[in-house]
Amino acid sequence: MIAILESFIEGGGVRAWIALALLLVASALSLSAAIGIVRFPDPLVRLHAMAKPQVLGLALALAAVVVAVGTWTALWVVVPVLVFQLVLVPVSSHMIARAGLRSNDYRHEDLLVDDTED
């Protein structure tokens, strides 16, 4: 694995270094999302850790793929993945929030305004 990475960096030049930097930032964002999901107490708080850094991490990883490959075909393969991610993450976050509210799996004292109360 190390030999493959070394040959890619030596043969790729500046594009390889940019792709490597993008992948490192993407992995750091994905790691922060994973730590937030484990650390935060309830589903409503976990939504922020789940959605925001994960989407940006995936976008940076896909940008690294496009930079590393360097063709228009790679861009057109990556764009639908990013579009689906941007469309479906808010929907899944909303579904998780509704499930958390319906199952009473949240801390009531942390809510400033609860619009679901009757």
Q: What are the tens digits of pLDDT across the range 5-19? A: 666 667 677 888 888
Q: Report the predicted TM-score, pTM, of the whole model to 2 decimal places.
A: 0.78
- Structure token pair of residue 31: 């790691």
Neighbours of 104 (CB within 10 A): 7
Residue 118 and residue 107: Cα distance in Å, rounded?
18
If one compares 37 and 118, the residue with the highest pLDDT of the two is 37
pLDDT of residue 8: 65
Would you state the structure tokens that stand for residue 5, as one six-digit string? Answer: 């990475």
Cβ atoms of 114 and 48 within 8 Å: the answer is: no
To the nearest 10 degrees (0 to 180), the angle between helices 43-69 and 14-39 is 170
